[in-house]
Chains A and B, each alone.
Chain A
Amino acid sequence: MGLYQENGIKIHIGDRVVAINREEKTVTSANGLIVNYDKIVLATGSYPFVPPIKGNDTQGTFVYRTIEDLEAMSSYAKNCQTGVVIGGGLLGLECANALKNMGLQTHIVEFAQRLMPVQIDDAGGNILRNKIAELGVSVHTSKSTTEIVSIDSKVTKMIFADGSELETDMIVFSAGIRPRDQIAKDCGIEVGDRGGIIINEQCQTSDPDIYAIGECALYQSRIYGLVAPGYTMASVVADIFNNITTSTFTGADMSTKLKLLGVDVASFRDAFAKTSGAKEIAITDAVQGVYKKLVLNEDGSRLLGGILIGDASAYGTLLQFVQNNIALPPHPEDLLLPPREGKPNVGMGVESLPDTAQICSCNNVSKGQICTAIQENNFTDVASVKKCTQAGTGCGGCVPLVTDLLKSEMKKAGLEVKNNLCEHFDYSRQELYHLVRTHKILTFEELIQKYGKGQGCEISKPAVASILATTWNEYILEKPHISLQDTNDAYLANIQRDGTYSVIPRVPGGELTPDKLIVLGEVAKEFGLYTKITGGQRIDLLGARVDQLPHIWQRLIDAGFESGHAYGKALRTIKSCVGSTWCRFGVQDSTSLAIELELRYRGLRSPHKLKSAVSGCTRECAEAQSKDFGIIATEKGWNLYVCGNGGMKPQHAVLLAEDIDKETLIKYLDRFLMFYIRTANRLERTATWFNKLEGGIDYLKQVVIHDSLGIGEELEQEMAHLINTYECEWKATIEDPEKLKRFRHFVNSDQSDPSIINVQERGQKRPAYEHEKYLVGVSK
């Protein structure tokens, strides 16, 4: 708002223009305001098009445009199982993702014979369709809906032109947009046959004093439904108002790169080879679900456009080839292939781009502008470059290129591009780990005084606490360490959204006796905790206040439980399957091994959390191949897999050793884990670490199995120290009255936090949402 006030701009929020009187040169609003004008800029945008299908206003039908639409959809979806999106364009796919994320069985119904008919061709459409089907979304193409019939209050039936039917609980229309041109039409300004306020190169409408920009404007029979062209039109009009009359809008690049339902999709420039003489080269990999097509000019020397599906990592580079009319390398097909072993990726570094190259298409920022900003201000971080140039502040797609430019400018300026931990340490985590160990540094205080500056922060403190813990393994709530810990470590429990904590005791291998199970139930009842089975084969007790934590743990420890370290960047769970003890297919005792390993590595602190699983046969019920280390029983012993990941970016673990016995397995694990702890970055899971490890699995095998660095024994000894000095952090805490003093909400009162308000759901409590707090009559 400040910007508008300072520049004398009056805003009327919550009001709407209803009429323009071109004779009197006034604008009238719904609230009755009348304003005189010299010039008008119409930027009324568009509204979603709802096809004229019978029953299109049945209960449970929605459109997808505003945040309110989304909120309405998501609250309705709570009582639904199935959702249909009508329209398989860009927005339709995004909308399908939203429905899928709301937990619905999702269908896409598209009128054309492929998805995204405007941006991609049939071959690409097929690949995209398969990829989306793999994600569990059903795609129906060449389907025209003729009627929507309500069956009962919730379920609806869609009837298609070919006679087929589909039942669903809700329907979202995403069948295109229509420019909002009514006020222009009403005052006699020319609009297109199918809507849209007609503009010329100056963005002027048929009335020279009235301009139109953005999605309501029609330029050469085209509506530009993206933000970038809208910004360009806006700056043309701004220029004209400032007497820069040379500024014109002559159409815009509709190239796009998006992640739709997790699938990369990019389409740029002449994607359908419409230029005369254009040639196409394409590769299709149905297994990986990748399709890449390049459109070349007649002699194959220049790129005209293309389509990328499944892997659009080359988009930035390819677009630069088109935009700057750069000559292609002799074998343009190389641009489509992954880099060959040993050879650097074909394509080009940012250095080779001309200064005029547009880097950020959302905000129209050129390479030259970015480099100048970096040089003039001596920027060394991407955030400052973004703030100063606006590049990267739109869709974010250009951030990797901006980062590369920053790195190359820093190199040119003789600055070292470093992996520093934060503003307080000019060292990376690996370097600090090394300093701590070789100089026998025991506290953060000592480290920052000798090797850092300032007071530290929420990045360096927990990182150094973790390094100290994996090196010396002192109790983490010892005086010098306590102020370094994240709240989860500081209270040995996980903080929840209302400021209460969760309690997850260790259940090694997921094995739990009936007696212990009963204790968990009793404790939950006594302290009024919500209970849930976790994804890690153990039980979570949620909603504990700080002052309750020690009492809860006293009961648990008396019953033989110990800390589960769910709060730490530490070993979490080692899941198991029943294995040969019960299962008719089990070939080894996976449960016993999981328990033994969990007890061996419990409490181990590491750069990020560590998870593991042991399966009793190749059916892999414990999902070991998605873990940081996973073990699968074989007839002859155990297979060891490492560096897998579930979570945000799932990654399959890789086989490190085959058919090994338990002793060898443990030796390899000790070495592998300590090697990771020594060399990984802060908050880097094993999978991410592995992806950057030069030499990959062969190198890792060399280090772990063949001891090529000669550090095998050292790593084993370091691990032995950690295992021998293990203690249950909760036991140590409740035994020390000094330590318990911190477990209260107020330092000057025995009251517990009055802001914690719960409501009941499915027979248990949960924290109230903000609006519920108002209902209960208590709020901030």
Chain B
Amino acid sequence: MVQALPIQQNITNWVDICPLPAITPNTGVCALIADEQVAIFRVGSTEDVFAISNYDPFSKAFVLSRGIVGDRNGIAKVASPIYKQNFNLVTGQCLDDETVSIPNFRARIVEDRVQVACRGSNAG
């Protein structure tokens, strides 16, 4: 599904990442956005994309993009490939330890390209 959202340049800086087919359905990739490692996942038949940090706070390695995606009670999530803790793909909240959460990013598909909202002002 193509989300033809108006680009609100004054508020959000959308960074172009890659063509949608570069992400195999139901897997993730890692993108470098202004020195930050961001894990982007393509989920389900609706072709939603989600972005959270690629950093796994439990193993302290940058690996979340290589986890298995799925859902817990309908919440889209990824399991870290190292010690298998699960993270909510929308909020970055860890589902197995309520005290842990990681940064989340807005992501969308525009004309078959994946874009992620950048937080820093000078990136892009």
Q: Across the interface, do A461 and B70 meet the contact criterion of CB distance under 8 Å? A: yes
Q: Which residue of A lies closest to B74 (CB)?
A: A454
Is A745 in the interface zone, CB < 8 Å from B? Answer: yes
Specify the main secondary structure of chain A where it touches its partner.
loop
Q: Across the interface, do B23 and A747 meet the contact criterion of CB distance under 8 Å? A: yes
> Which residues of A are found within 8 Å of B73, using beta-carbon distances?
423
Q: Which residue of B lies closest to A755 (CB)?
A: B62
Q: Across the interface, do B69 and A498 meet the contact criterion of CB distance under 8 Å? A: no
Say how far A26's CB is from chain B's closest CB, in angstroms.
35
Say how far B34's CB is from chain A's closest CB, in angstroms.
11
Interface 9-residue window, one of B6-14, B24-32, B104-112: B24-32
Q: Across the interface, do B68 and A486 meet the contact criterion of CB distance under 8 Å? A: yes
Is A323 in the interface zone, CB < 8 Å from B? Answer: no
- Max chain A CB contacts within 10 Å: which of B32, B40, B43, B86? B32
Q: Which residue of A lies closest to B23 (CB)?
A: A747
Is A491 in the interface zone, CB < 8 Å from B? Answer: yes
A481-500 with Cβ < 8 A to chain B: 482-488, 490-491, 495, 497-499
Is A536 in the interface zone, CB < 8 Å from B? Answer: no
> Which residues of B are found within 8 Å of A485, using beta-carbon distances?
68
Q: How far is B112's CA from A721's CA once the two chains are assembled, in angstroms?
A: 41
> Which residues of B are found within 8 Å of A424, using beta-carbon distances?
70
Q: How far is B32's CA from A424's CA once the two chains are assembled, in angstroms?
A: 34
Known: A455-B44, A497-B59, A747-B18. A487 touches B67 (CB 8 A): yes
Q: Across the interface, do A457 and B17 meet the contact criterion of CB distance under 8 Å? A: no
Known: A487-B81, A755-B37. A747 touches B63 (CB 8 A): no
> Which residues of A are found within 8 Å of B79, using beta-carbon distances?
457-458
Q: Across the interface, do A457 and B37 meet the contact criterion of CB distance under 8 Å? A: no
Our pick among A460, A483, A497, A753 for the contact of B27 (Cβ within 8 Å) is A483
> Which residues of A are found within 8 Å of B76, using beta-carbon distances?
455
> Which residues of B are found within 8 Å of A340, using beta-carbon distances?
none
Say how far A745's CB is from chain B's closest CB, in angstroms.
6
Between-chain CB contacts (< 8 Å), 8 pairs? A455-B70, A458-B68, A483-B27, A486-B81, A487-B67, A495-B82, A497-B59, A753-B37
Known: A495-B82, A497-B82, A745-B30. A462 touches B68 (CB 8 A): yes
Q: Across the interface, do B60 and A770 meet the contact criterion of CB distance under 8 Å? A: yes
Q: Across the interface, do B17 and A748 meet the contact criterion of CB distance under 8 Å? A: yes
Say how far A393's CB is from chain B's closest CB, in angstroms.
15
B73-100 contact mask (Cβ, 8 Å, vs A): 1 or 0 = 1101101011010100000000000000
Q: How far is B86's CA from A423's CA once the two chains are assembled, in angstroms?
A: 15
Is A742 in the interface zone, CB < 8 Å from B? Answer: yes
> Which residues of B are found within 8 Å of A490, using beta-carbon distances?
27, 66
> Which residues of B are found within 8 Å of A753, using beta-carbon distances?
37, 62
Known: A458-B68, A491-B66. A747 touches B30 (CB 8 A): yes
Q: How far is B70's CA from A456's CA once the two chains are assembled, in angstroms?
A: 5
Say how far B88's CB is from chain A's closest CB, in angstroms.
13
Q: Which residue of B lies closest to A780 (CB)?
A: B55
A409-458 with Cβ < 8 A to chain B: 423-424, 454-458
Known: A499-B61, A747-B30. A483 touches B74 (CB 8 A): no
Q: Please tell me the number of chain B residues within 8 Å of chain A, measured between CB atoms.
A: 38
Is B22 in the interface zone, CB < 8 Å from A? Answer: yes
Q: Across the interface, do A479 and B24 meet the contact criterion of CB distance under 8 Å? A: yes
Is B47 in the interface zone, CB < 8 Å from A? Answer: no
Is B72 in the interface zone, CB < 8 Å from A? Answer: yes
> Which residues of A are found within 8 Å of B81, using beta-carbon distances?
486-488, 495
Say how far A496's CB is from chain B's closest CB, in angstroms.
9
Q: Across the interface, do B17 and A454 meet the contact criterion of CB distance under 8 Å? A: no
> Which residues of B are found within 8 Å of A488, using beta-carbon distances?
81
Q: How far is B74's CA from A394's CA once the two chains are assembled, in angstroms?
A: 31
Q: Across the interface, do A747 and B62 meet the contact criterion of CB distance under 8 Å? A: no
Is A76 in the interface zone, CB < 8 Å from B? Answer: no
B33-64 with Cβ < 8 A to chain A: 37, 40, 43-44, 55, 59-63
Is A231 in the interface zone, CB < 8 Å from B? Answer: no
> Which residues of B are found within 8 Å of A276, using beta-carbon distances?
none
> Which residues of A are found within 8 Å of B32, using beta-carbon distances?
746, 748-749, 751
Which 10 interchain pairs have the tightest Cβ spacing? A487-B81, A483-B26, A458-B79, A457-B70, A499-B61, A747-B29, A455-B71, A458-B68, A499-B63, A487-B66
Our pick among A482, A499, A780 for the contact of B24 (Cβ within 8 Å) is A482
Q: Across the interface, do B17 and A747 meet the contact criterion of CB distance under 8 Å? A: yes
A731-757 contact mask (Cβ, 8 Å, vs B): 1 or 0 = 000000000011001111101010100
Q: Please tell me the number of chain A residues within 8 Å of chain B, measured between CB atoms.
A: 36
> Which residues of B are found within 8 Å of A745, using beta-carbon distances?
30
Known pairs A457-B70, A457-B77. 6 more at Cβ < 8 A? A424-B70, A458-B84, A461-B70, A483-B26, A483-B27, A747-B40
Say how far A446's CB is from chain B's closest CB, in angstroms.
13
Say how far A515's CB is from chain B's closest CB, in angstroms.
35
Known: A497-B82, A742-B24, A780-B55. A455 touches B63 (CB 8 A): no
> Which residues of A are found within 8 Å of B44, using beta-carbon distances?
455
Say how far A504's CB is from chain B's closest CB, in angstroms.
18
Q: How far is B43's CA from A552's CA once the two chains are assembled, in angstroms?
A: 31
Q: How far is B60's CA from A458's CA once the two chains are assembled, in angstroms?
A: 20
> Which residues of B are found within 8 Å of A742, using beta-carbon distances?
24
Q: Across the interface, do B43 and A455 meet the contact criterion of CB distance under 8 Å? A: yes
Say how far B14's CB is from chain A's closest CB, in angstroms.
14
Q: Across the interface, do B69 and A495 meet the contact criterion of CB distance under 8 Å? A: no
Q: Across the interface, do A458 and B40 meet the contact criterion of CB distance under 8 Å? A: no
> Which residues of A are found within 8 Å of B77, using beta-carbon distances?
457
Q: How far is B40's CA from A462's CA once the two chains are assembled, in angstroms?
A: 21
> Which residues of B are found within 8 Å of A486, using beta-carbon distances?
68, 81
Q: Across the interface, do B60 and A780 meet the contact criterion of CB distance under 8 Å? A: yes
Q: How far is B79's CA from A454's CA once the two chains are assembled, in angstroms?
A: 16
Q: How far is B77's CA from A499's CA once the two chains are assembled, in angstroms?
A: 20
Q: Which residue of A lies closest to B60 (CB)?
A: A770
> Which residues of A are found within 8 Å of B37, using beta-carbon distances?
746, 753, 755
Q: Across the interface, do A423 and B66 meet the contact criterion of CB distance under 8 Å? A: no
Q: How far is B61's CA from A482's CA once the two chains are assembled, in angstroms?
A: 22
Say how far A547's CB is from chain B's closest CB, in angstroms.
12
Say how far B42's CB is from chain A's closest CB, in angstroms.
9
Q: Across the interface, do B72 and A457 meet the contact criterion of CB distance under 8 Å? A: yes
Q: How far is B30's CA from A410's CA once the two chains are assembled, in angstroms?
A: 44
- Max chain A CB contacts within 10 Å: which of B23, B25, B86? B25
Say how far B71's CB is from chain A's closest CB, in angstroms.
4
Say how far B100's CB is from chain A's closest CB, in angstroms.
14
Q: How far is B44's CA from A658's CA once the two chains are assembled, in angstroms?
A: 53
Q: How far is B32's CA from A425's CA once the two chains are assembled, in angstroms?
A: 37
Q: Across the interface, do A455 and B60 meet the contact criterion of CB distance under 8 Å? A: no
Our pick among B17, B18, B31, B69 for the contact of A455 (Cβ within 8 Å) is B69
Q: Across the interface, do B24 and A487 meet the contact criterion of CB distance under 8 Å? A: no
> Which residues of A are found within 8 Å of B74, using beta-carbon distances?
454
Q: Across the interface, do A499 and B62 meet the contact criterion of CB distance under 8 Å? A: yes
Q: Which residue of B lies closest to A770 (CB)?
A: B60
Q: Which residue of A lies closest to B71 (CB)?
A: A455
> Which residues of A are found within 8 Å of B29, using beta-carbon distances?
746-747
Q: Which residue of B lies closest to A482 (CB)?
A: B24
Q: How far is B18's CA from A484's CA once the two chains are assembled, in angstroms?
A: 23
Q: How far is B26's CA from A454's CA once the two chains are assembled, in angstroms?
A: 13
> Which residues of B are found within 8 Å of A423, using beta-carbon distances?
72-73
Q: Across the interface, do A483 and B62 meet the contact criterion of CB distance under 8 Å? A: no
Q: How far is B118's CA from A272's CA once the two chains are assembled, in angstroms?
A: 70
> Which residues of A are found within 8 Å of B55, using beta-carbon distances?
780
Q: How far is B30's CA from A742's CA once the two chains are assembled, in angstroms?
A: 10
Q: How far is B35's CA from A749's CA once the two chains are assembled, in angstroms?
A: 11
Q: Across the interface, do A747 and B68 meet the contact criterion of CB distance under 8 Å? A: no
Q: How far is B17's CA from A484's CA once the two chains are assembled, in angstroms?
A: 24
Q: Across the interface, do B68 and A454 meet the contact criterion of CB distance under 8 Å? A: no
Q: How far is B116's CA from A239's CA once the two chains are assembled, in angstroms?
A: 55
Q: How far is B82's CA from A749's CA once the two chains are assembled, in angstroms?
A: 24
Q: How far is B74's CA from A424's CA once the two chains are assembled, in angstroms?
A: 10
